[in-house]
Structure formats: structure tokens, C-alpha cells
Amino acid sequence: MANVTVLDGGFATQLSVHVGKSIDGDPLWSARFNATDPNAVFKTHLDFLEAGAEAIMTNTYQASIEGYGEYLHLNEDTSLNLIKSTVRVAQMARNHFLAKSAADERRTGIPLLVASIGPYGAHLHDGSEYTGRYAADVCVDTIQKWHRPRIDACLEAGVDVLGIETIPCKMEAEALLDLLCDEYPTVRFWISFQCKDNQHLANGELFSDTVNSLWAKARQRRNKNLLALGVNCVHPQIVTPLFRSVNDKRLPEELRIPLIVYPNSGEVYTVEEGWQGREDCVPLEHYVPQWIELGARFIGGCCRTYARDIKRIKQTVINHANSNHCQ
């Protein structure tokens, strides 16, 4: 059984503990606090590390030149410098954690620093990262041109991996895969999708066809830095059927595609009522064993998951590994 890396949880969710208010609805979302309260961003990273996360994602999902220009009135250079300083805040949190836990024999390795690379639709602030409707109107060149400066800034500041996330359509995923193969051939990355049900991406393409196609394309291009494909910011109930459509249990482990999952808590969001249904949620750790059996190699949480949720996921991953080891 391959190792599983435990990711962090919903950054804006845990950040709200430190800033004392809900962040939902802000056009910059948690990315505003990179400028207004970097200490709260630092504390949020530390919360997840102390909960057992083996990878933390930078608070850059909603950070863009356009967004910072419109809502913080920053120019392009200042916006990019803010993105770089945001990466450095995550580095500082990791260094602080490592120094504090140097004598802890249970700690294994240095946590990965992952750049959160959100979709083109996120900066439009119209919900289109959950529909992918822009795929019909925006060309590949525009998508790549929009992503390139953020990717450059994060790499320049020193991340280990690019976490390309909440991608709603095959077109954007292919554009990013081509960009990374062509211009960043040594950079490790994953691609995770936004899905509208247990079969389809947000834009309507079949999840299984998209994942198989991207994995095959990376192999054709001899790119071995695509670490995983999968889903994030989805209801946890739809993950198992999505994964089963890609990795049948009968498939030998060496032929399986490595998968990634960091879903929402199971609560449902509406603009009118916010997040509803916490009392009906099945704790994420209950799903973890089945996801591992289907090839999940990275597991964490997205919206409405706190550091305490990551702690329980981590313990479940450990227990699962130990039970397999004993068999």
C-alpha cells in the first residue's frame, strides 16, 4: 500500500477562527488577509501543521493581479510581490513548526509547501469556477497567460509543488498541463477538479474520461511530475463513485492513477443562507479508508473543514496503515 500524504483543510474556514468573522462573500475571500493580517495567515498554517498536516497550501487561491488591482488598488508588481510574500508567510510557519517540533520523534519529514493555484473562473467572482461556463468563451492562450504570472511568483518564492485546484472544465486542465509540460518540466504538481455530481466535472465532461486522458497525455509527454489527479471542494458523498470510475478495485496497484481528494465538510452553501447542514454531515474520516483503497494518495479538507478535522483524518490514515501492516 502506497503512502498517503495528509493535506491541510479549509484555509478560510480556519482563518475565521483568528480574524473573528466569516470571510464568505468577500470578492478576495481569504486572500484579502495576505495584505491586512498576515499574522492570522501565519497562525492558520500553524494550526494545520500542529494538527498533523504533511502539506500546507499557500493562501493564494483567490490572489490575482486583477483581483488585487480592483479591490486593493495595487499595481501589477505590488500584487505579485504580495503573492510572493504570502508564500513566505507559509514558509515561516513551516520553519517555526519544524523548529518547535525538532525533538518530536513521531514527526516524519518536512511538510510540503504547496502553491494554491485556483481556476481562471475564481477571479471573475461570478461563481463560474463552479460551472466552467467560461470554457466556451475563453481560449487556451488566455487561460495560460492569466495563470503564468501567479505560477512564476509562487515558484520564485520557493514552493515545492503546485496545487492546481477547483478546476471546473477539461479545457483549463489541458491548458495547464500543456503549460507545465512545455515551460515548467521539472515542477511537481497536481490537478483537482470541481464536480457537479458523481460522474461529471462542473462543466459536464465525464470525470473518468478527463482523468484518464490527462494521465495518458502526461505519460506521452514523459512528464513524471504530475503527482495526482482528483477532486476538491465537492460533497464527500460523491467522491467514492468518482474514484471508482477511474480506479477499479480489481486494477493492480501499479496500474492505478494516483488520486487526490480534499472535499468540503458536506455542508451546503447558498448565497441567501450561507452554510447549512453541519448537523447532518458524516465526519470526513469515515470515508478515508474507502478512498485509500481506491487509490487516494493525498487526502485533506476544503471549505468548512477545520484543523480538528485534519487531526482526525491524520489519525485515521495512521490507523489504516497500521491495520494493513498487521495483516
pLDDT value, residue 156: 98
pLDDT in tens, 96-111: 999 988 766 566 689 9
pLDDT value, residue 254: 82
pLDDT value, residue 321: 86
154 is in an annotated binding site: no
pLDDT value, residue 70: 94
The H or E element that residue 19 is part of is: helix 11-19
**CA torsion, ordered 266, 318, 312, 303, to nearest 10 deg:** -40
pLDDT value, residue 326: 56
Q: What cell was used for 260?
A: 487526490
pLDDT value, residue 31: 92
Classify residue 98 by its DSSP letter: H
List of domains in the chain? 5-326 (3.20.20.330)
- Write the CA distances from 177 to 57, 76, 193, 215, 228, integer angstroms: 20, 25, 13, 10, 12
181 is in an annotated binding site: no
Q: What cell was used for 163?
A: 496545487
- Name residues of the chain where pLDDT drops below 50: none
**CA torsion, ordered 55, 97, 325, 259, to nearest 10 deg:** 0
Give helix 65-72 / helix 76-100 axis angle, nearest 10°: 100
281 is in an annotated binding site: no
